[in-house]
Amino acid sequence: MKVAIAMEETPDDLKRILGSNERVELYIKQKIYHPKVNVDSVVVTNERIILRHPHALGLKKDYTDFNYKDISNAVLEKGILRSKIKMTLRLGGEPLELGDLPNSEAEKAYGIIRQNSVSSQSPQPVIAPVAVSGVVAPKAGDSSA
């Protein structure tokens, strides 16, 4: 299995579908079997997880992405040499599984997924109203305003 963190090793077709502020944090090229789906590689970005599905002898590729907001839980099942990451999706259905990963790469991916998952779930800061000096709101029943 080949794990690349550098953007230059990410295939061009994957680079073209990234958002303007999106960056690749981990690229895993491996045969990973998600329920009923053959996956050629997985890209873990700061915004989502992208599964790359080749078909027609590799001439065509489809992509499935999972936004971190759609992931309610992630579990790392660590074996002696290889691990599996199971993610529960908020909308139900089959869990997303990334399996047969070497332990070190699984730990990296799990850490990135947990971090991005938590940051996407945290509430956005609320901007408090700003008080303007010299402006007084009229009192209820005051007709002089």
Domains of the chain: 2-121 (2.30.29.30)
Residue 8 has pLDDT above 50, yes or no: no
Contacts of 52 (CB under 8 A, 6+ apart): 11, 13, 14, 39, 40, 41, 42, 43, 61, 62, 63
Residue 73 CA to residue 117 CA, distance in Å, equals: 8
Per-residue confidence band for 75, with pLDDT thresholds at 50, 70 and 90: very high
Average pLDDT over residues 32-61: 73
Average pLDDT over residues 48-73: 83
Do residues 42 and 98 make contact, with C-beta atoms less than 8 angstroms apart? yes
Tell me, what's the pLDDT at 59? 67
Q: How far is CA 117 from CA 14, 88, 144, in A?
A: 21, 12, 55
- Here the tokens at position 8 are 């230059």
| Element containing residue 121 per DSSP (H, E) | helix 103-121
Is 112 or 57 the better-scoring residue by pLDDT? 112
Portion of the chain with pLDDT greater than 90, in percent: 30
